[in-house]
Structure 1
Amino acid sequence: MSIYVGNLSYEVTREDLTEIFAEYGSVKRVQLPVDRETGRMRGFGFVEMSSDAEEDAAIEALDGAEWMGRDMRVNKAKPREESGSGGGGRSGGGRGGRSGGFSQRY
């Protein structure tokens, strides 16, 4: 299982998250997703710790805590849902190929 950490500063680094979560146990992995188009951090991340007890302690202590000027949201990460059912996803609609107002001429 992993921990979802939301409402993060866009300046936060993996090292920052590792340091703050290490106060509650051994940090196995930190992920900070970035926006594909801008390369900028998306304002949330995921932390995996060595045990459920360590994760629970970190969640209890850090959820709602003010850090780097923001109130963090910290809770158990929910499993990623499979796309393709229902009418969302990437099929249909969209920009229609290369059109959409962007020109490749320079």
Structure 2
Amino acid sequence: MSIYVGNLSYEVTQDDLTQTFAEYGSVKRVQLPTDRETGRLRGFAFVEMGTDAEETAAIEALDGAEWMGRDLKVNKAKPREERGSSGGGGGGGWSNQNRGSRY
């Protein structure tokens, strides 16, 4: 399992996250997704820790904490939903693709 870290500064680096989460245990991996079109950071990350206890300690310590001028949202990452290859539509829910285009 991994940790979702949201509301990140767009200036954050993998090293920044690694150093911060290393205070709570061993950091196995940090993933900072970028926008496919612009290459800009998307404002969230995923962090994998060495053990469940380390993940729990990091979540409890960092969720809601101010870091780099923002209040972090830190929780267990949810499994990625499988997306069909039909090109979208039909689901009725909002996806990342249509945020900001409400009409």
- Superposition TM-score tier, normalisation by shorter sequence: 0.7 to 0.9
Larger Rg: 1
Alignment of 1:9-48 (within 5 A): 9-48=9-48
Across the two proteins, how many residue pairs are aligned to each other?
Answer: 89
Where does structure 1 differ by over 6 angstroms across 4 or more consecutive aligned residues? none
Q: Give the root-mean-square deviation of aligned CA atoms.
A: 1.5
1:1-106 matched pairs, under 5 angstroms: 1-84=1-84, 90-91=87-88
Percent sequence identity over matched residues? 82
Structure 2 unaligned spans of 5+: 90-103
CA distance in 2, matches of 1:91, 1:24: 39
The unaligned stretches of length 5 or more in structure 1 are 93-106
- Distance, in Å, in 1 between the alignment partners of 2:30 and 2:76 is 14
Offset at 1:91? Answer: 4.4
Local SS of the residue matching 2:23: helix
What is the TM-score of this pair, normalised by structure 1? 0.80
